[in-house]
Amino acid sequence: MRDDYLKQAQEIIPDPNILINVVSRRAKQLKFGNKPLVESLERLDPEDIALREIIEGKISYELGEVDED
């Protein structure tokens, strides 16, 4: 992962656990053939594409509520 992308993405999603989950889920989608939501002139790893998508506001996350029975 590119360090500069990671630092910029941490400003948007400051919780490292959430950031890791969002990036890994999106990277997996990209590896399975989903189209990137950002364009790049350089070849990026799926994780870097996911970080760029977060930085550019193309993907977001929502915290779900936990049911406690």
Q: Is residue 8 part of a domain?
A: yes
Q: Is residue 40 part of a domain?
A: yes
State the pTM of this model. 0.88
Q: Is residue 69 part of a domain?
A: no
Tell me, what's the pLDDT at 19?
Answer: 97
Higher pLDDT among residues 58 and 68, named by residue: 58
Q: Is residue 34 part of a domain?
A: yes
Q: Is residue 21 part of a domain?
A: yes
- How many structural domains compose the chain? 1
Gyration radius (Cα) of the chain, Å: 13
Quick: pLDDT tens for 52-66.
999 999 998 888 766
Q: Is residue 28 part of a domain?
A: yes
Tell me, what's the pLDDT at 66?
Answer: 60
Q: Is residue 68 part of a domain?
A: no
Q: Which domain holds residue 33?
A: 3-55
Quick: pLDDT tens for 3-47.
999 999 999 999 999 999 999 999 999 999 999 999 989 999 999
